[in-house]
Structure 1
Amino acid sequence: MSEELYPLKFEPIYQYRLWGGRRLAHLLSKPLPKDEPVGEAWLLSDRKDHASKVTDGSLKGKTITELMQKYPMEIMGKNRGHVERFPLLLKFLDCHEVLSVQVHPSDDQTDYIPKGDTGKTEAWVVLETADDSIIYSGLKKGTTKEDVIAAIKNNSVSEKLHRFIPKIDDAVFIQSGTVHTLGGAVVFEVQENSDVTFRLYDWDRKDPKTGKLRELQVEKAIACIDYNQVEIGPIIPVKSAEVENAELLFDNEHFKLWRIESEKQVAVGFKDEPVILVCIKGSGIMNYQNKDYSISKGEVMLLPAIVGQLELRPNSKIRLLQIAIPNMNGIRKS
């Protein structure tokens, strides 16, 4: 029955990464695993190996995978029938050290994508920086495939990449095929629901857990590079016409993302489509069917399509990221 669905919060899934740190403890209330670098908190994940669980209400303990199977129409609304699993994966990243230089395939590079997965376009919103913050995004203009192969041989890949020093609130769009990496920052990441990453270079470092170098996938990475993705910098936010007190950061075939900042009541969500809210600062309350639902810093909430639009009452100033899924007619199933 559809009335069982309500605004759903999920428990973060922490992931060990050798490049991670301990800064996600500032963002999330769930304690970090002891004494190891945590690189990622998966906030909403519909993957076989890591499925997000509801934290409260009558559906507590149910996974997003189970809910998508039982309530596809109620969750996906106008996009029902186009996907079998939730199409986005949301994360916080604590990039204490620089990640590997990597690239993700596009949806049409099917030879490089495992069955049941997709390509991977993603985007970042910078939440914290440090003295050593750096983003590498895209190649330097004029860089060829031959240049990249030569740079791999003499360990100078980073010299072929565009780089900039990020600031808090910077928003960066990483189209599939873009060579990229980052370090010294905490970011929110939204991406296609895919875990396909090809490492081009990993700074010759060893994983302290294994004592070994991490595996590279150089040939696949080179095959997936889009050599037109050059000198990618922060996007310029646009004041939103459809969402109040918001600026539109990303708008592409996979996701739309707004940053909402408000001290007064503000509408969130849309009719007949799912929306995800990620609270970056402050807290607030929404009422749905005569029950209050709260959201506070570090929490993620899925508003199923059937919930529609709600009024959010901030307790003081609140800052939210609101993510929607564009109309998926014509997009192949994952």
Structure 2
Amino acid sequence: MNDKLYPLKFEPIYQYRLWGGRRLAHLLSKPLPKDEPVGEACLLSDRKDHASKVVDGPLKGKTITELMQKCPVELMGENNAHFKRFPLLLKFLDCHEVLSVQVHPSDDQTAYIPEGDTGKTEAWVVLETADDSIIYSGLKKGTTKEDLLQSIETNSVSEKLHRFIPKIDDAVFIHSGTVHTLGGAVVFEVQENSDVTFRLYDWDRKDPKTGKPRELQVEKAMACIDYNQVEIGPIIPVKSTEVKNAELLFDNEHFKLWRIESDTQVDVGFKDEPVILVCINGKGTMRYENKDYSISKGEVMLLPAIVGQLELHPNSEITVLQIAIPQKNDKS
């Protein structure tokens, strides 16, 4: 692949989900599939079954998988040796109805993770709410394995879960092992690049497409629960010292995420490391090698490591989520 990397935009990949709705049409310019509930738009995905494709420029049509294989150093910088696949998966979720009550394994619970996959720590930023918005995040304090098993039998699982009513801009961190679900909201989700989900409970509903209940994985879910993950609420944003006009929402071993809100020029990206920008509101432009690159509401842009830091010029006011991948040391 001789084409040099540049700021890359990707086409969203829509996914049918029985709990989905039609609200992603407000966020994304790509038309939704007709007449079915769309629960997810994969914004940047390096998965075999759905790999994101570049939408414009010389690399149009290339997948993130191909780029990771052909130019890992230019894309990932010093982190290239630690990742065969792009390590994060980014989505918009339209949770028209409440999702299944679920849990994801941690990276070290390898008995429950298919080969080539990882555990799954994730985080949400709430973009839209409704009258029935709800987030269940963590267990109620003191809940035991026995309590939880009994509640599954009596269809009262929700009584064992901590819950709160989310507001727009709330940011919620869901560490692997946390029992969780949500409904009545549109959220941005960042997570480890993993598809491993174990359903504990699905509200006794049937999938309209099959007429059957969805499969539960109660035994695996129970094995992966961290009973210390209790009463998880929205995080408290911290004013960033390293990114202008930004607050730091998440900072963990898998991802760092800033929310940048600005009506004046602001620097985005970092030297020699990849950064992802997700535009939540407004639009703006960046200049790289004498060419302008625009980003607007609902779009995702990957700044490869070789691109470095750019100046983002908002048209008026812009809100951008900036996501970085923490540097791995050689011991990890």
TM bucket normalised to smaller: over 0.9
Task: Report the Cα offset of residue 78 of structure 1.
Answer: 1.8
CA contact (8 A) 2:3 2:59 kept: no
Cα deviations by residue, 1:221-251 (Å, 9 ceiling, x for unpaired): 0000000000000000000000000000000
CA contact (8 A) 1:68 1:86 kept: yes
Cα deviations by residue, 1:86-113 (Å, 9 ceiling, x for unpaired): 0000000000000000000000000000
CA contact (8 A) 2:3 2:58 kept: no
Task: Report the Cα offset of residue 328 of structure 1.
Answer: 1.6
2:201 corresponds to 1:201: yes
Task: Report the Cα offset of residue 330 of structure 1.
Answer: 4.6
2:86 corresponds to 1:86: yes
Task: Report the Cα offset of residue 329 of structure 1.
Answer: 2.0
2:312 alignment partner in structure 1: 312
User: How far, CA to CA, are the matches of 2:248 and 2:75 in structure 1?
Assistant: 23
What root-mean-square deviation, in Å, do the aligned CA atoms of Structure 1 and Structure 2 show? Answer: 0.9
2:16 corresponds to 1:19: no
User: How far, CA to CA, are the matches of 1:156 and 1:316 in structure 2?
Assistant: 49
CA contact (8 A) 1:93 1:186 kept: yes
User: How far, CA to CA, are the matches of 1:100 and 1:208 in structure 2?
Assistant: 15
2:54 corresponds to 1:47: no
User: How far, CA to CA, are the matches of 1:329 and 1:50 in structure 2?
Assistant: 29
Matches within 5 A, 1:76-225: 76-225=76-225
Compute the TM-score of the two structures, normalised by the length of structure 2: 0.99
Give structure 1 stretches of 5+ with no counterpart.
none
2:7 alignment partner in structure 1: 7
Task: Report the Cα offset of residue 331 of structure 1.
Answer: 6.9
Cα deviations by residue, 1:100-149 (Å, 9 ceiling, x for unpaired): 00000000000000000000000000000000000000000000111111
CA contact (8 A) 1:82 1:331 kept: no
CA contact (8 A) 1:170 1:235 kept: yes
Give structure 2 stretches of 5+ with no counterpart.
none
CA contact (8 A) 1:2 1:74 kept: no
Compute the TM-score of the two structures, normalised by the length of structure 1: 0.98
User: How far, CA to CA, are the matches of 1:196 and 1:331 in structure 2?
Assistant: 25
Cα deviations by residue, 1:139-194 (Å, 9 ceiling, x for unpaired): 00000111111111111111000000000000000000000000000000000000
User: How far, CA to CA, are the matches of 2:156 and 2:331 in structure 1?
Assistant: 38
Where 1:305 maps in the other structure, the secondary structure is coil
Query: What amino acid is the match of 1:86?
Result: F
Task: Return 108-117 or 145-154, whichever deviates more.
Answer: 145-154
Task: Report the Cα offset of residue 286 of structure 1.
Answer: 0.2
Query: What amino acid is the match of 1:268?
Result: V
How many positions carry a matched residue from both structures? 332
User: How far, CA to CA, are the matches of 1:248 and 1:69 in structure 2?
Assistant: 31
Where 2:186 maps in the other structure, the secondary structure is strand
Query: What amino acid is the match of 1:110?
Result: T
